[in-house]
C-alpha cells in the first residue's frame, strides 16, 4: 500500500488588513449592543503552505498528491477568500527539503497576532526505527536516510515557538504515520448545538495550534476517487459542499470526513492539538464567501457583514420608532382619560348648579350670548329697556339678594342669568385686540378648570350694572372693583363705525359707552362705539346653562 502524509495548512478566512466584526444571535441573556458585537472578534489575514509530491527521486511515485494540493488551493481561494498571493503551492521538484523548511520559517516569522496559517502536506511519510519520530519525505529524500527527510519534531518546534505570533495554525497531513504529529485530543464544538455560531466566534478569538491527519500510526491509501486520495476526496468534498457561512475545521472533519474514510479505508483519521503553551484551545475557522462575492478577495465578505450591521441598525431604529409611537399612543390614551374625567366633572358641576335653589321672586333672565354688530343707539336703548327691571331693581328691591355665588376659585356664579364670571378680570386695561388674546390665554391655562371662556355680549355685561354704587363702582361688591370699564364682544356699524369701535360698559359711571343710564330711568346716549385702540379691562364669562 502506497503511503502519503498530510501536512498542516493554516486555514482561516478573511478580511485582509482590517479587523472584522462577526454578528451572532444570543439565545439567552441580554443581547449584546452593536458596539460590543463589533469588538467581539477580529479575523486577520489567511495564509497557506500547500505541498503535494507525486514524482520522488528515489521513493515510489504517487498518483494523487499533486492534484489534491492544486484543488485545495483553488477551493481556498475561490470559495473561502484566501488571497492568491498569500498561498504558497509546492509540488514535485519545487518541494525540496530546504525550500519547505525555509517556507515554514518564513511564514511563521512574518505572521501577525491576528493572522491564520493553514499547512497541507500530501506525500510519503515514514517512521524512524531508531527514534520513533515521524517524517515528511521531500522530493529528493533518500530511501533510508532520515537526515534527508523533514521530521515532525522540526515542524512542531517551529509552530510551537512562542515567537510565532499567528493566532490560529492548523496542519492537515495526508501521509503515512502522520499520527505522530498529534499530542492530545480535539476541542470539538457540536455543529448542531444551540448557539454554535456564537460559541465558535468566541473560541476563534483565542489562539490555536491544531492538527488533522488522514491516519494514525499506519500507512494510508494513495488511491481513492476522482483522482484524489480517499482522505483528500472527502476533505475537498466537505469544503466544496459546505453551506455554512462560518465553520471550524474540526467540525468539518468530524461531520463529513471521518466516517467515510474510516469505513471505506483501512485507516484512522484523527484531529487534535500540538499541545504547546501557544495553544489556548481556540479554533481555526473558515468563512465562506457569498455567491455574489469576488473570488480571491475578502472585501465582499466584509461588505456583506457591513450590510448585516446596517440591517441590524435599521431594525433597532425601527423598534425605537415603534416604541416612541407606543409612548405617544399611551400619552393620548391618558390625555383622553383626563378629558373624559374633566367632562364628567363639568357635567356634575352643571347638575350641582342646577340644584341650587333660586329665589322665588327672582325671574330667570335669558341673555344673548353671541356677539353682533349694533348699528345705532336706538338698539342699545331697546336692549336696556328690555332688561330694565333686571337692571334697575337688582339691589334696591332685595329680590335678587344672594343671586351671586362666590365659588372661591376666582369665579362668580350668577343664578339669575346662569352665567359664570371672572371674579376679577384683566390686571391692566388693554386694546380690543389684546383683550381677545387675554381670553385665549385663559382658555389655554384652563382658568378655574374651564376652557370655554369668552368676551360677554353687551347685554350680558350690562346685566352686572347696579343702580347703587358700591366701592366706587356700579357692580355688586362680590366682584373685584378694579375693572372699571370693560370690553364687550359687540361692535358698532354704520355712521357710528367711524372709529372702528367696540361697545363697552363703564361700571365706574354706570353706563354703556356714553349712555348715562345709571340712576336715570330713561338715559341718554352721547356717542357711538369706542375706538378699538382705546384701552379697557376684560371680565371673561362662560355659559353654564
Which backbone phi and psi does 301 adopt, to 5 degrees? Answer: -65, -40
Cβ neighbors of 283 (< 8 A, separation 6 or more) are 168, 187, 189, 200, 203, 204, 206, 208, 210, 248, 249, 250
Distance CA 525, CA 517 (A): 8
Residues 17 and 58 sit within 8 Å (Cβ to Cβ): no
* DSSP state at residue 161: -
Q: What is the pLDDT along the chain (545 residues), one digit of tens a residue?
A: 444 433 333 333 333 333 333 333 332 233 333 333 333 445 778 999 999 999 999 999 998 999 999 999 999 998 888 999 999 999 999 999 999 999 999 998 888 888 899 999 999 988 888 888 889 999 999 988 999 999 888 988 888 888 888 888 999 988 877 766 665 555 556 666 666 666 676 676 788 888 888 876 656 666 667 888 888 898 999 898 888 878 888 888 888 888 888 888 777 888 888 777 887 778 888 887 765 454 333 344 445 556 666 777 888 888 999 999 999 888 889 888 888 888 888 888 777 776 655 544 445 667 788 887 776 555 665 555 555 444 444 544 444 556 788 999 999 998 878 899 999 999 999 998 899 999 999 999 999 999 999 999 888 888 888 766 767 788 888 898 888 899 998 887 654 444 457 888 888 877 776 433 333 333 333 334 567 788 899 999 999 86
- Output the pTM of the full model: 0.48
Q: Could you tell me the three cell numbers for 476?
A: 355688586
Rounded distance between C-alpha atoms, residue 255 and residue 473, angstroms: 103
The predicted structure's pLDDT at residue 53: 94
User: Strand, coil or helix: what is 122?
Assistant: strand
Phi, psi of 276 (to 5 degrees): -125, 155
DSSP secondary structure string for all residues of 472-503: TBSS-TTS-S---EEEEEEEE-GGGGTT-EEE
CA distances from 228 to 64, 135, 234, 298 (A): 5, 22, 9, 28
User: Residue 536: helix, strand or coil by DSSP?
Assistant: strand
Alpha helices in 451-506, H assignment, sequence order: 458-462
The enclosing H or E element of 51 equals strand 46-52
Amino acid at each position: 500500500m502506497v503511503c502519503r502524509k498530510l501536512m498542516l495548512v493554516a486555514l482561516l478566512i478573511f478580511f485582509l488588513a482590517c479587523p472584522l466584526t462577526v454578528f451572532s444571535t444570543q439565545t439567552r441573556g441580554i443581547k449584546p449592543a452593536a458596539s460590543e458585537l463589533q469588538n467581539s472578534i477580529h479575523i486577520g489575514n489567511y495564509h497557506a503552505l500547500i505541498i503535494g509530491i507525486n514524482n520522488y527521486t528515489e521513493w515510489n511515485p504517487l498518483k494523487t498528491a499533486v492534484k489534491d494540493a492544486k484543488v485545495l488551493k483553488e477551493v481556498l481561494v475561490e470559495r473561502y477568500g484566501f488571497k492568491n498571493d498569500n498561498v504558497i503551492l509546492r509540488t514535485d521538484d519545487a518541494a525540496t527539503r530546504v525550500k519547505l523548511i525555509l517556507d515554514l520559517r518564513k511564514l511563521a516569522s512574518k505572521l501577525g497576532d491576528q493572522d491564520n496559517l493553514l499547512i497541507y502536506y500530501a506525500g510519503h511519510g515514514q517512521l524512524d526505527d531508531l527514534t520513533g519520530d515521524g517524517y515528511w519525505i521531500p522530493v529528493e529524500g533518500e530511501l533510508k536516510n532520515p537526515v534527508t527527510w523533514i521530521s515532525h519534531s522540526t515542524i512542531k518546534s517551529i509552530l510551537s515557538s512562542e515567537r510565532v505570533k499567528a493566532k490560529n495554525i492548523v496542519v492537515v497531513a495526508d501521509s503515512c504515520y502522520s499520527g505522530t504529529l498529534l499530542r492530545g485530543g480535539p476541542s470539538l464544538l457540536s455543529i448542531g448545538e444551540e448557539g454554535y455560531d456564537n460559541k465558535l466566534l468566541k473560541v476563534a478569538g483565542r489562539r490555536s495550534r491544531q492538527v488533522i491527519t488522514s491516519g494514525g500510526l499506519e500507512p494510508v491509501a494513495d488511491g481513492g476517487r476522482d483522482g484524489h486520495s480517499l482522505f483528500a476526496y472527502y476533505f475537498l468534498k466537505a469544503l466544496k459542499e459546505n453551506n455554512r457561512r462560518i465553520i471550524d475545521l474540526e467540525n468539518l472533519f468530524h461531520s463529513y470526513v471521518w466516517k467515510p474514510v474510516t469505513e471505506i479505508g483501512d485507516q484512522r483519521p484523527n484531529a487534535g492539538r500540538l499541545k504547546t503553551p501557544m495553544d489556548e484551545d481556540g479554533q481555526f475557522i473558515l468563512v465562506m464567501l457569498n455567491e455574489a462575492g469576488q473570488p480571491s478577495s475578502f472585501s465582499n465578505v466584509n461588505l456583506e457583514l457591513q450590510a448585516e450591521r446596517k440591517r441590524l441598525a435599521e431594525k433597532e431604529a425601527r423598534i425605537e420608532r415603534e416604541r416612541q409611537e407606543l409612548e405617544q399612543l399611551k400619552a393620548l390614551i391618558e390625555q383622553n382619560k383626563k378629558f373624559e374625567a374633566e367632562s364628567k366633572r363639568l357635567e356634575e358641576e352643571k347638575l350641582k348648579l342646577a340644584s341650587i335653589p333660586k329665589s322665588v321672586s327672582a325671574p330667570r333672565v335669558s341673555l344673548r350670548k353671541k356677539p353682533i354688530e349694533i348699528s345705532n343707539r336706538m338698539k342699545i336703548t331697546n336692549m336696556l329697556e328690555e332688561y330694565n327691571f333686571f337692571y334697575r331693581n337688582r339691589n334696591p328691591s332685595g329680590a335678587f339678594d344672594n343671586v351671586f355665588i362666590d365659588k372661591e376659585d376666582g369665579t362668580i356664579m350668577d343664578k339669575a342669568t346662569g352665567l359664570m364670571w371672572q371674579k376679577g378680570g384683566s390686571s391692566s386695561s388693554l386694546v380690543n385686540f389684546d383683550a381677545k388674546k387675554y381670553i385665549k390665554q385663559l382658555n389655554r391655562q384652563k382658568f378655574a378648570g374651564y376652557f370655554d371662556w369668552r368676551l360677554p355680549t353687551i347685554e350680558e355685561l350690562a346685566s352686572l350694572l347696579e343702580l347703587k354704587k358700591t366701592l366706587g363702582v356700579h357692580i355688586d361688591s362680590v366682584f373685584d372693583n378694579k375693572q372699571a370699564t370693560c370690553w364687550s364682544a359687540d361692535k358698532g356699524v354704520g355712521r357710528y363705525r367711524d372709529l372702528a369701535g367696540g361697545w363697552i360698559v363703564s361700571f365706574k359711571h354706570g353706563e354703556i359707552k356714553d349712555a348715562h343710564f345709571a340712576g336715570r330711568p330713561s338715559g341718554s346716549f352721547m356717542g357711538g362705539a369706542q375706538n378699538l385702540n382705546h384701552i379697557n379691562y376684560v371680565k371673561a364669562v362662560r355659559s353654564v346653562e
